[in-house]
Structure 1
Amino acid sequence: MTTAPGSADAPSAAPIPVVVAGALGRMGAEVVKAVHGAPDCVLVGAIDSTPGKEGADVGLELGLGDLEVAITADFEGTLCQASQSVRQSGPGGGAVLVDFTHPSVVYEHTRGAIAYGVHPVIGTTGLSPEQLQDLATFAAKASVGGAVIPNFSVGMVLLQQAAAAAARFYDFCELTELHHNRKADAPSGTCIKTAELIEELGKTFNPLQVDEHESLAGCRGGLRDSGLRLHSVRLPGLVAHQEVMFGAPGETYTLRHDTIDRSAYMPGVLLTVRRVRTLEGLIYGLEKLL
């Protein structure tokens, strides 16, 4: 998978055309508002399958006024229109798709965007390692830059880097992620990404100290090959939270990040939108852009 972005992005005279998939969802609505408020971006498409909303103006639906962008459930048609309306090609050109939809369709959405030459910025989690590799290969062949970002929060990236550094000094570690109860996948893509960064050290964690027995299956969390255990909590009232706890004789070291409002993700989303068109392939993780 290509991991290095291209040269520093230079500002373009024309605003960046952006299509938002999942435009009426909790995250998608925030993206629409952020794109509308960014002077270097322009919303050109709003995709959503909410019943009864086909043809409605997305701006009026979200309290932004008339944006002259109609909501549509036609994903492929919208990509085709965005691709044809943007004639500029090569690094720094083309339209951008920001996707916050559902794990069941994210692979097809990402592959479809690449096929139409639209740069995917994927916030939807649930892609398998095999799917990520397939998409990276496809993006490289198509020469289309893209980004799969499990978490757009700069604070979460800092937590992940701190966890990867701390893992050198601790042999015992467990991860817990907490989200609202409408999140479809578990564990979260952010939690998996954190575990992957910790595992880059190449060591095994949590050596058994006793012959464990679960009286309730799964109560010890999901076990990865590295020995790391991942726990998921789903409750109304939560937004997105993650805790990484390290343990050693006589001490614990805990890293925690709490997202209080989804607006926290928007600086990362806009950063990715501005840079994705300069990438040489598909990247995975916001840290590749910071």
Structure 2
Amino acid sequence: MQPSQSNIKVIINGAAKEIGRAAVVAVTKARGMEVAGAVDSYLVGEDIGKVCDMEEPLEIPIINDITMVLGSISQSKATAVVVDFTDPSTVYDNVKQATAFGMKSVVYVPRIKTETVSALSAFCEKATMDFPSQDAIQIANNLTNLGQIYNREDISTDIPVYTLKHDVTDVQSLMPGLILAIRKVVRLKNLVYGLEKFL
């Protein structure tokens, strides 16, 4: 079945990671979108469909050069979204590059620094681009911070303080949120931090 021209083209940056492979499969199965590029420094040259153990190869090789992938896809003038599973040290530059090619970004980068989010917010405001992060850990962090504010007396005594910790044990649980974020980001004009804003 040939994909329609109106499909959202999705580039997965960090495609060889476990979460990246799950995203490739989820995007391939989702209606109205298709994987258009796979970027990673591992398994370069391998077909991303084979790497994901899909029945059919996707005929999309893993490439270690995001600029080449963005440039190639921008030529098609299609609606495109970059999903970034890299790390805090590269995410700012990745979003800037995607923006330069007229693409929006969905970012899932645990342990992203507040300063990076602030810098991206300022950048996105200037560029009128969007950056929804589907980082559910932020919800847990918010609750933990509330616990620290409201349980100060408990902290200074021998009474145990309860905290909430969010551990993702299966990346499949993140895929419905990712698909939702991809669909929403193409219509947004500003940075959105936290998937919970869409729920």
Does the aligned pair in 1 maintain the 2:10–2:33 contact within 8 Å? Answer: yes
After superposition, the C-alpha distances for 1:56-82 in whole angstroms (9 at most, x for unaligned) are 211122222221211100012212222
- Which of residues 64, 81, 98 in structure 2 aligns to 1:73? 64
- 2:188 is the counterpart of 1:274: no
Alignment CA distance shift 1:202-1:54 (3 Å): closer
Paired with 1:24 and 1:31, the residues of 2 have a C-alpha distance of 10
Please state how far the C-alpha of 1:260 moved relative to its aligned partner. Answer: 3.8
Q: Specify the code of the residue in structure 2 equivalent to 1:37.
A: K
After superposition, the C-alpha distances for 1:228-267 in whole angstroms (9 at most, x for unaligned) are xxxxxxxxxxxxxxxxxx85xxxxx775655442111110
Unpaired segments of 5 or more residues in structure 2? none
Alignment CA distance shift 1:125-1:112 (3 Å): farther
Paired with 1:132 and 1:257, the residues of 2 have a C-alpha distance of 20
Q: What do you get for the CA RMSD once the two structures are aligned?
A: 2.7
Paired with 2:71 and 2:84, the residues of 1 have a C-alpha distance of 16
Q: Specify the code of the residue in structure 1 equivalent to 2:141.
A: A
- Which of residues 209, 213, 218 in structure 1 aligns to 2:156? 209
Paired with 1:134 and 1:38, the residues of 2 have a C-alpha distance of 32
Alignment CA distance shift 1:61-1:194 (3 Å): closer
- Which of residues 125, 131, 136 in structure 2 aligns to 1:146? 131
- Which of residues 142, 146, 171 in structure 2 aligns to 1:196? 142
From the two aligned structures, give the one with the greater strand fraction.
1
From the two aligned structures, give the one with the greater helix fraction.
2
Higher relative CO (CA 8 A, sep ≥ 6), structure 1 or 2?
Answer: 1
SS at match of 1:124: coil
Does the aligned pair in 1 maintain the 2:26–2:179 contact within 8 Å? Answer: yes
Does the aligned pair in 2 maintain the 1:20–1:46 contact within 8 Å? Answer: yes
SS at match of 1:66: coil
- Which of residues 111, 115, 120 in structure 2 aligns to 1:135? 120
Does the aligned pair in 2 maintain the 1:58–1:69 contact within 8 Å? Answer: yes
Paired with 2:118 and 2:16, the residues of 1 have a C-alpha distance of 30
Please state how far the C-alpha of 1:200 moved relative to its aligned partner. Answer: 6.7
Does the aligned pair in 2 maintain the 1:115–1:142 contact within 8 Å? Answer: no
Does the aligned pair in 2 maintain the 1:100–1:123 contact within 8 Å? Answer: yes
After superposition, the C-alpha distances for 1:148-199 in whole angstroms (9 at most, x for unaligned) are 2212xxxxxxxxxxxxxxxxxxxxxxxxxxxxxxxxxxxxxx1x55333564
Does the aligned pair in 2 maintain the 1:146–1:277 contact within 8 Å? Answer: no
- Which of residues 80, 90, 110 in structure 2 aligns to 1:95? 80
Q: Specify the code of the residue in structure 2 equivalent to 1:127.
A: I
SS at match of 2:82: strand
Paired with 2:115 and 2:93, the residues of 1 have a C-alpha distance of 14
Paired with 1:73 and 1:200, the residues of 2 have a C-alpha distance of 41
- 2:109 is the counterpart of 1:109: no
1:32 maps to which residue? 24
Paired with 1:275 and 1:284, the residues of 2 have a C-alpha distance of 13
Q: Which has the larger radius of gyration?
A: 1
Please state how far the C-alpha of 1:36 moved relative to its aligned partner. Answer: 0.9
2:110 maps to which residue? 125
- 2:174 is the counterpart of 1:265: yes
**Normalised by the size of structure 1, how large is the TM-score?**
0.59
**Normalised by the size of structure 2, how large is the TM-score?**
0.84
Aligned length: 193
Paired with 1:198 and 1:23, the residues of 2 have a C-alpha distance of 31
Q: Specify the code of the residue in structure 2 equivalent to 1:116.
A: F
Please state how far the C-alpha of 1:130 moved relative to its aligned partner. Answer: 1.9
Paired with 2:163 and 2:132, the residues of 1 have a C-alpha distance of 29
